[in-house]
Amino acid sequence: MRKRIVSAWGVALICFIVLMIVTPTIPQSQEYHNFADQRTFFGIPNALNVISNFPFLVVGLIGLILCYHGNYFKLSLQGELWGWTCFYLGVAAVGVGSSYYHLKPDDATLVWDRLPMTIAFTSIIAIFIIERIDERKGMISIVPLILAGIISIVYWRFFDDLRPYALVQFVPCIAMPLMAILLPPMYTHSTYWLWAAGFYLLAKVLEATDDVVYKWTHHIVSGHTLKHLFAAMVPIFLTFMLAKRSLEEDRQSLLKTWRISWTKIKEGDSSVESFTYSRVQVEEPQ
């Protein structure tokens, strides 16, 4: 097993090195810091972009408390506890780091916005490995994954190259819904993962349309402010999932569940059509 783990990390490292060789560098655009809504309220510069990070801090702290208060989330594995602890620590830190960044947006403060996000992203991958593949492998992967996220930020800051950070951010966005659909879950309420992924996708769209949304709303709220609120729905939905779920007795993937449901629907439609056809034949005058 240890050899397979080493081999997997080796393959991942080789793929990363090849990617770094064949793709051009991605420097940090300084236009990124030029947000649409730069209004000052109550002496707070860029006020709405600062204040809209508050939900991250609240949800992160609530999640941390519930992880340890009487095992409210009923986490059955030690690795799960560590993974969710790292996740909620990252979420709470996003509330602080992103607010700090938006007070004075530049590359130096952006570090403290992105660093906690990478902790949250990488923790999610480790949690999926623990729940759906193997607890030991997932637990071992927590530290290397978080370190990979931190290194991606350090690399960007020193070499002005966003490629490693882009991988850390977007690989979980692809891996999370795929793993949620294809791999059998340990717990019920697995569809909450897809809701979380959907809200994060909407958040990225709002981030890309910051100025457009600001104009559409007649300068009431910007896309970036809404991006914070939609992104905060990710840990909120995952917290609801943890509170409601229970151990899954019949472990089957969402894909298999959907196939079974679709088959039953088709069989139901066929039965209804057959019943209707028979009634029509019976009721026809002789």
End-to-end CA distance of the chain: 74
Give me the amino acid identity at 88: Y
Contact 113/98 with Cβ under 8 angstroms?
A: yes
d(Cα 193, Cα 198) in Å, to the nearest integer?
Answer: 9
Is 102 marked as a binding-site residue? Answer: yes
Work out the number of other CB atoms within 10 angstroms of the CB of residue 106.
Answer: 11
Q: Could you tell me if residue 218 is left (phi over 0), alpha (psi between -120 and 50 degrees) or otherwise beta?
A: left
Contacts of 284 (CB under 8 A, 6+ apart): none
Question: Of the candidates 80, 133, 112, which has an alpha carbon nearest to the alpha carbon of residue 241?
Answer: 80
Binding site residue list for Zn(2+): 102
Binding site residue list: 102
